[in-house]
């Protein structure tokens, strides 16, 4: 191996390893919507997108944990994230959390609130939020190519509502967050809208 690709101090520390292990245990029994893919694959993908877009270790940890409060226990998980990973990680995760209410509010209300959060979030949280949206839309696109329009049956909203939401996400950050992830989101949306 060439040492020109080695660095003296790792960019990801034991904190990231601990976050990965914690995430694995939190989501071990969860599957992706409408399939048999382990949910952690989504969380790993979002963390990878965040790192590839220039996010730091805190942002990558938050990417791993971005659904933890919403899906795995609300207030108790929020407290645990803060204790284990600090205020900055928690702030990013909180910005990504659509709702910790049980039962969840209706789909449209959650998405409208999410758009407000996206507009108001600091850049590091926007990066995680857009990475999440991009991976979700990539997954829908891949499943749509395999299953056709049946893919939309797994959602609590119609195809047009779902595509509206992704377009609204792009509009919400268009002038505030510059990233190739936004361009990719636009490209996939164009394919769906053709």
The one-character DSSP state at 46 is H
CATH number of the CATH domain containing 38: 1.10.3210.10
The end-to-end CA distance of the chain, in Å, is 46
pLDDT for 175: 87
Token pair in block for residue 6: 């080695």
* Residue that has been written with the tokens 């809208």 in this structure: 193
Contact 102, 73 (CB under 8 A): no
Q: pTM, whole model, 2 decimals?
A: 0.94
Range of the domain at 101: 3-193
pLDDT 10s digits, 65-124: 999 999 888 899 999 999 999 999 999 999 999 988 888 899 999 999 999 999 999 999
Q: How many domains does the chain have?
A: 1
- Partnered with residue 38 across adjacent β-strands are 31
Q: Do 115 and 172 touch, CB atoms closer than 8 A?
A: yes
pLDDT exceeds cutoff 80 at 2: no
**Which residues sit opposite 31 in a β-bridge?**
38
């Amino acid at each position: 191996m060439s040492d020109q690709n080695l660095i003296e101090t790792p960019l990801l520390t034991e904190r990231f390893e601990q976050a990965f292990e914690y995430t694995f245990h939190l989501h071990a029994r969860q599957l992706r919507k409408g399939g048999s893919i382990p949910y952690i694959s989504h969380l790993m993908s979002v963390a990878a997108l965040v790192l590839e877009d220039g996010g730091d270790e805190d942002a990558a940890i938050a990417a791993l944990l971005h659904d933890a409060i919403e899906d795995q226990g609300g207030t108790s998980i929020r407290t645990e994230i803060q204790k284990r990973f600090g205020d900055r990680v928690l702030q990013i995760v909180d910005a990504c959390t659509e709702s910790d209410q049980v039962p969840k509010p209706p789909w449209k209300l959650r998405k409208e609130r999410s758009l407000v959060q996206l507009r108001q979030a600091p850049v590091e949280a926007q990066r995680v939020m857009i990475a999440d949206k991009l991976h979700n839309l990539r997954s829908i696109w891949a499943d749509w190519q395999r299953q056709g329009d049946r893919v939309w049956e797994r959602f609590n909203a119609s195809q047009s509502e779902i595509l509206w939401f992704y377009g609204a996400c792009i509009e919400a950050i268009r002038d505030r967050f510059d990233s190739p992830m936004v361009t990719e989101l636009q490209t996939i949306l164009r394919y769906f809208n053709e």
